[in-house]
Amino acid sequence: MRNLMKKKGMKWSVSILLVLSMSFGLVSFNNDQRNFEIVKNLDIFYTLFRELNSYYVDETDPDKLIKTGIDAMLESLDPYTTYIPESEMENFKFMTTGEYAGIGAMISKEGDYVVIAEPYEGFPAQKAGLKAGDKLLDVDGKSVVGKTTKETSELLKGPANTKLKIKIERPGTKKPFTVEITREKIQINPVPWYGMVNDETGYIVLNNFTQGCSRNVKKAFLDLRDNRGAKKLIFDLRGNPGGLLDEAVKIANLFIPAGTEVVSTRGKVKQWDKVYRASREPIDTVMPLVVLVSRGSASASEIVSGSLQDMDRAVLIGQRTFGKGLVQTTRNLSYNAKLKVTTAKYYIPSGRCIQAVDYSHRNEDGSVGLVPDSLIREFKTKNGRPVFDGGGISPDIKVEPHKYANISYALVVQQVLFDYATQFALEHNSIPPVENFEITDDTYNQFKQFVLSKKDFKYESKTQEIFQDMEKTAKKEGYYKAAEEQFDTLKKMLTPDVNKDLDLFSKEIKDMLGIEIVKRYYYQKGAVQFGLKDDPDLSKAEELLSDPAEYRGILDGTIPSHAGDRRSMKN
């Protein structure tokens, strides 16, 4: 049997070599060292896998083994070159188009249960009466208790216009009940809210660059300008991870003249290099424009904000952007799989590259970290203002990001805010309009009691983590016993006091709680609107737009900006 396997293996190996030789055009591969190395190593990989599959002591999963190998290989290149098997094509399609067929709800894991985290307004889940906090028990008779969100999502998705039954357990109700829902084609609006933030200033937030998003932005802008009296605009790209290049070009084109270069791409295959220009007449080239950016603004967000900065068309406010300036092309593979492969880099009109030039210095969230002086080069905007490459786009006006307390993170991660909002919604049929809603002292006191009643709610401060490391080091080096009493005293002082921290950080916790509660009544658009209250970036943008001289001074270079400060690239 083994001999038979080996003979078959030899035939397969020869067949693969012949196919690979034809694929790479290796008529005389002995004269082409590189192509020989490719074929040699592919044959080694094939024979290794064959032997592993035949003789490894335990049963192996061929699909899992190969995917692990492919993922590890691609991981050695850059973070964006990825393998997409056929089983993940629906998720890939959703990422690029924002479209899928299902019930239209965000789900999350809470203990053994998958729960509705947020039903999207106007889609099947919301129309069927599902609410945030509903626990899913089974889908079409299949239990989902103990299942992952991915496994549950696959059951909820399906062809449009097909029906499914979901068994629900709702907090505050005595018995589970079943809801019948008809799946629909779900297209998430990339502009969850737009409106006027004062008498003259319009505001548009864009969450991602999915197919057709430029039409949403254009529609919002025209409504603000032509129907609501907007004379200035704030365009919010904070936290926008990017998406389709063509949509980024179209959005930039809304504000700059036809024929203007927006971005160019350059890579190994020179015939693929391309310059992308504004191809249509813009809708407005003179209205004062501020673009809000953050460390989470990446890729297409950086193309739009960077090109508008390079053309001196907008003032950027916020934090240095992510630094993702690599172009991915999708290539078809066998068996309906795909390879998303990095083929080029983005260059904006000044000539600078968006991509972080140093992969080794990244923040914990993946955004650009420290950029050494030696890797930073100066470029000029249309008006001659200095700007720099090295990674990401530095804003013209820098606003320090808010650093949330550890208790705030814990309240989110342990879903305490979510659970209280669920209870609040059960007890209140309605709340005032978003602009009038606030977390009162009475509501916050009730929330505090809710938190304190949770015996399993615990968290550590950064100071406490450092202290624990110091304590371990002291024990290792033999100093602990001599200072044990002092260590115990300090440990008690540093142990987080939930009641005290709920008061100490009440402002930020109230803001977070308000967003979670508003979402139950006014969905995503309400959450966005509520979150703009007391927003430092937005306040700075309004302040700048109220001072035409400062706004114009930044764009013509007479007033220095952070974008022209080399030091801003090193923080």
Instruction: Name the residue with tokens 């319009």.
Output: 202
d(CA 391, CA 371): 8
d(CA 275, CA 328): 16
d(CA 428, CA 442): 14
d(CA 466, CA 13): 56
DSSP letter assigned to residue 456: T
CA 343 remoteness from chain centre: 22
Q: Where are the alpha helices (DSSP H) in 433-461?
A: 441-452
d(CA 236, CA 305): 10
Q: Is the pTM of this model over 0.85?
A: no
d(CA 296, CA 292): 11
Backbone angles phi, psi at 467, to 5 degrees: -60, -40
Local structure of 364: helix, strand or coil: coil
d(CA 224, CA 326): 34
Local structure of 289: helix, strand or coil: strand
CATH homologous superfamily for 99-187?
Answer: PDZ domain (2.30.42.10)
Burial class (CB in 10 A: 0-12, 13-18, 19+), 41: exposed
d(CA 39, CA 43): 6
Burial class (CB in 10 A: 0-12, 13-18, 19+), 113: middle
d(CA 244, CA 99): 14
d(CA 437, CA 236): 23
Conformation bin of residue 334: beta by default, left when phi > 0, alpha when psi is -120 to 50: beta
Find all residues with CB under 8 Å of 87, minimum gap 6, and list them: none
Positions marked catalytic: 299, 310, 324
Instruction: Output the CA angle 302-304-308, nearest 5 degrees.
Output: 115
Find all residues with CB under 8 Å of 350, minimum gap 6, and list them: 310, 379, 380, 381, 387
Find all residues with CB under 8 Å of 333, minimum gap 6, and list them: 339
CATH, range 194-402+555-570: 3.90.226.10
Domain ranges of the chain: 2-60, 99-187, 194-402+555-570, 406-542
99-187 and 194-402+555-570 have identical folds: no
Full pLDDT tens readout for the chain, 571 residues? 444 444 444 444 444 544 444 444 444 445 577 788 888 888 998 998 989 888 999 988 888 888 899 889 988 888 788 888 887 777 776 666 666 789 999 999 999 999 999 999 999 999 999 999 999 999 999 999 999 998 999 899 988 999 999 999 999 898 999 999 999 998 889 999 999 999 999 999 999 999 999 999 999 999 999 999 999 999 999 999 999 999 999 999 999 999 999 999 999 888 889 999 999 999 999 999 999 999 999 999 999 999 999 999 999 999 999 999 888 888 898 888 889 888 889 999 999 998 876 555 556 666 666 666 667 889 999 999 999 988 889 999 999 999 899 999 999 999 999 999 999 999 999 999 999 999 999 999 999 999 999 988 988 777 777 888 888 998 888 888 888 888 888 887 777 889 999 999 999 999 999 999 999 999 999 999 999 999 999 999 999 999 999 999 999 999 988 886 765 555 5
Tokens at 201, concatenated:
């200033």
DSSP letter assigned to residue 570: G
Tokens at 269, concatenated:
């295959």
Kind and range of the H or E element at 505? Answer: none
Tokens at 244, concatenated:
């389709």
